[in-house]
């Protein structure tokens, strides 16, 4: 799967402090997850779209997220539409689509999409090192932040490693299919990736140790919460309160 | 396999997932010192790459989760590794989000920890005994079943109309279990020959007896 990064388009959202974006995204998504009124969820989606436009997220990245999500949800949509009891909306043969089913399925669809859109525009736009730093500043344990940062660093290398190994297998005439041979070969490939990652991790730790690594994170540049960050959070809180006011029943 | 946003919304269930995941991550982190946290990260990236591998299976392609192997190699450290993997999936691919992060971590990491205890007994002390490929394959398959079961149970908390969907998910995971079992057995057989250390259960444990070679980070 291709990874489409959009954490450097230089938009207004990108210039916000990552902490503000994390907090804002958490407020909005937790709130939306608790809402059931369709108009509120619709506004949530609209908010997400505005966020994507402001952050100038490329269309390909948006589609990459929305297509699999909605493929899954449309199955769920159909099941709920036809199995929820209630007044008949329309019928196909002997199965009855109900108004309640439609309302419920639509709610899930809008909710899931609004949350993904908002997360994409607010958190997908944070560069990983900045994300790690923001998490640490928000008191996530340094060990966990280190695991996050080093996992990001090594995924790319391990992917190259895997691609090299699978290319070697292909060159030796390996054809993947539904058979025991494929499972065995892929098991070996994965085993080799793990061995390489284990050894590489060992060497990296030694190198880090020689450079005085003690588990603390040291950052070159100071960060500050600026007026615009407070303004953003005030705006998010305001929107959250309005949504809460409209959606509360 | 994971729970999409917006389906399970009960604050009780979501909150419970967050607490359970936080507890598991805390235990996992406590078992790692700073140096081994980094080794976990690099191994975690290996697992992340392995989980992107797709296997063609009669027309459809399934992707691996390797929960069983994760439990065998990482033990409790599976919790932080899974959490980080899910955060990355969420940021990079938009799979899952913030409110379901706790539940999804539990769905993948609890079976991994269960595999760890199945191997070392309830005391949780690594016995140093090597897992046989067959046993590992069985555990790998069962861990997928456990993940699917957890996911199904969570869907059942939503309402009665989710029962058939939960059932369908369980059924759909039967072939995944078989693939997972085969790949896990083969990978463990390979690791037996190449790097038995990874299977011993203390590849990532703090090792107080070996001050010389381990990094002390106090």
For residues A243 and A40, the answer to whether their CB atoms sit within 8 Å is yes
Nearest Cα of chain A lies from the Cα of B73 at a distance, in angstroms, of 10
Which of B45, B70, B172 to mutate against chain A (most A CBs within 10 Å)?
A: B45
- Interface membership of A126 toward B (CB under 8 Å): yes
pLDDT per position as a tens digit, A49-77: 999 999 999 998 898 889 988 888 888 88
Residues of A in contact with B69 (CB under 8 A): 190, 194
Surface-to-core class of residue A87, CB atoms within 10 Å of its CB (0-12 exposed, 13-18 middle, 19+ buried)? exposed
Residues 131-150 of A with CB under 8 A from B: 131, 141, 143-144, 146-150
For residues B179 and B137, the answer to whether their CB atoms sit within 8 Å is no
Structural domain harbouring B61: 11-199
pLDDT per position as a tens digit, B58-72: 667 778 889 999 999
CATH code of B28's domain: 1.10.1760.20
Beta carbons of B4 and A73 less than 8 Å apart? yes
pTM for this structure? Answer: 0.91
Is B216 contained in some domain?
no
Mapping DSSP to helix (H, G, I), strand (E, B) and coil, where does residue A191 land?
helix
Beta carbons of A193 and B91 less than 8 Å apart? no
Residue extents of the structural domains in chain A: 18-126+224-247, 141-210
Comparing CB atoms, the residue among A76, A190, A199 nearest residue B165 is A76
For residues A231 and A18, the answer to whether their CB atoms sit within 8 Å is no
Task: Please state the domain count of chain B.
Answer: 1
What is the value of ipTM here, to two decimals? Answer: 0.91
Alpha-carbon distance A245 to B211, whole Å?
Answer: 59
Strand pairing class (B54-57; B60-63) = antiparallel
pLDDT per position as a tens digit, B73-109: 999 999 999 999 999 988 888 777 889 999 999 999 9
- Interface membership of A215 toward B (CB under 8 Å): yes
């Amino acid at each position: 799967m291709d990874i489409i990064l959009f954490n450097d388009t230089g938009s207004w959202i990108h210039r916000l402090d990552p902490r503000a974006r994390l907090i804002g995204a958490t407020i909005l998504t937790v709130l939306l997850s608790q809402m059931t009124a369709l108009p509120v969820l619709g506004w949530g989606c609209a908010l997400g779209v505005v966020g994507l436009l402001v952050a100038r997220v490329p269309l390909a990245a948006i589609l990459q997220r929305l297509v699999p999500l909605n493929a899954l949800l449309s199955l769920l949509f159909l099941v709920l539409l036809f199995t929820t009891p209630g007044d008949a909306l329309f019928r196909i043969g002997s199965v009855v689509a109900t108004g309640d089913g439609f309302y419920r399925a639509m709610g899930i669809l809008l909710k899931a999409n609004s949350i993904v859109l908002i997360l994409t525009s607010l958190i997908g736009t944070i560069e990983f090192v900045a994300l790690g730093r923001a998490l640490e500043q928000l008191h996530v344990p340094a060990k966990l932040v280190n695991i996050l940062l080093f996992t990001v660093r090594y995924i790319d290398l391990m992917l190259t490693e895997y691609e090299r190994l699978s290319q070697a297998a292909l060159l030796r005439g390996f054809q993947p299919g539904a058979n025991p041979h494929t499972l065995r070969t892929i098991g070996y490939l994965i085993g080799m990736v793990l061995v390489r990652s284990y050894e590489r991790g060992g060497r990296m730790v030694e190198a880090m140790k020689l450079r005085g690594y003690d588990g603390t994170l040291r950052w070159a540049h100071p960060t500050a919460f600026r007026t615009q960050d407070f303004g953003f959070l005030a705006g998010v809180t305001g929107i959250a309160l309005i949504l809460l006011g409209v959606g509360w029943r | 396999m994971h729970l999409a946003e917006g389906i399970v919304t009960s604050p009780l269930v979501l909150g419970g997932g967050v607490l359970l995941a936080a507890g598991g991550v805390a235990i996992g982190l406590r078992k790692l010192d700073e140096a081994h946290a980094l080794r976990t990260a690099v191994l975690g990236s290996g697992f992340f790459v392995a989980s992107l591998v797709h296997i063609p299976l009669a027309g459809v392609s399934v992707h691996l989760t390797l929960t069983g192997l994760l439990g065998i190699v990482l033990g409790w450290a599976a919790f932080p590794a899974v959490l980080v993997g899910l955060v990355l999936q969420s940021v990079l691919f938009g799979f899952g989000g913030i409110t379901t992060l706790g539940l999804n971590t539990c769905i993948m990491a609890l079976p991994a920890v269960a595999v760890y205890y199945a191997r070392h007994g309830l005391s949780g002390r690594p016995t140093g005994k090597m897992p046989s490929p067959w046993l590992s394959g069985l555990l790998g398959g069962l861990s997928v079943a456990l993940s699917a079961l957890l996911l199904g149970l969570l869907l059942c908390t939503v309402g009665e109309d989710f029962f058939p969907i939960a059932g369908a998910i369980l059924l759909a995971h039967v072939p995944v279990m078989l693939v997972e079992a085969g790949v896990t057995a083969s990978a463990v057989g390979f690791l037996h020959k190449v790097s038995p250390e990874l299977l011993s259960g203390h590849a990532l444990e703090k090792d107080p007896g070996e001050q010389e070679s381990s990094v002390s980070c106090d």
